[in-house]
Amino acid sequence: MTSAEGFQPVKSAGRTLEVLEALAASGGRRSLGDLARALAIPKSSLHGILRTMMQRGWVEADDTGTRFGLGVRALQVGAAYLDTDDAVGLLAGVLDELSRQFGETVHLGRLDGAHVVYTAKRESMHPLRLYSAIGRRLPAHATALGKVLLAERADETVTEIIGTPPAALTRHTITDLAALHADLAACRERGYAVDHEENTEGIVCFAVAVPLHTPAVDAISLSIPVARLDGQVEQRVVAALRHAVDQVRAARGLLTVS
């Protein structure tokens, strides 16, 4: 096997993966021209890639045959990933209990570079709730899930992960690195993170890191509309999340940790 230093990526494989990632990030269908411009791939080459992926079920086209989106094969692979993920299985009961206690949206998320990805979810019982979907990828600096996981890392590492100045998702998003570092320091001190409408207007989110790895890569969150939040509810949520962490620590023997 070639050493990592001398490895040369296979161009065609790289382009295929770029197409999948672009379609996953878009949340909808995209035209051939749009994809070609975004990925800097010649239309002729991209057309062949898309046709091949359509034949294998990874990509689907609309009725006009001019706009492309992910196919059912992508769903199957994503579902297989979750089915074999130890953390998702181990924490299912914890998520169920938090959902039962509060009737609010509960997420399990995983840090993926400068983003956090939802790997499991329990829906809110209320009409007014946070919109989300398993597999959705959000900037870590603007979510409680992401912030509590970034807080597990040194400031220098966080700066490297975030890279460019943080972007604003709402008027409440922290977009200054110094301010973000200060917020992460506060997370470390109290043991949980809070997203005060930084990801979605009108939604406050609380999160704790799941102690399965060091530093943690998974976190649990509970999201509540501002209209249903008061000091007493916040105290109950934080206590329940801390209890969830204690449950995970007690069950760590069920999971092989690298």
pLDDT at 79 over 90: no
Distance, CA of 117 to CA of 138 (rounded, Å): 7
The tens digit of pLDDT for each residue in 52-62 reads 999 999 999 99
Identify the CATH assignment for 11-75 out of 2.70.98.10, 3.30.200.20, 2.40.30.10, 1.10.10.10. Answer: 1.10.10.10
Considering the segment(s) 85-254 as one domain, its CATH architecture is: 2-Layer Sandwich (3.30)
pLDDT at 254 over 50: no
Q: Where are the domains of the chain?
A: 11-75, 85-254
| 67 Cβ contact list (under 8 Å, min separation 6) | 29, 30, 31, 61
Residue 216 banded pLDDT, cuts 50, 70, 90: very high
Helices (H) and strands (E) in the chain, counts: 9, 9
Q: What pLDDT is recorded for position 257? A: 43
Q: CATH topology of 11-75 equal to that of 85-254?
A: no
Distance, CA of 207 to CA of 226 (rounded, Å): 16
Q: What pLDDT is recorded for position 136? A: 86
Average pLDDT (21-40) is: 87
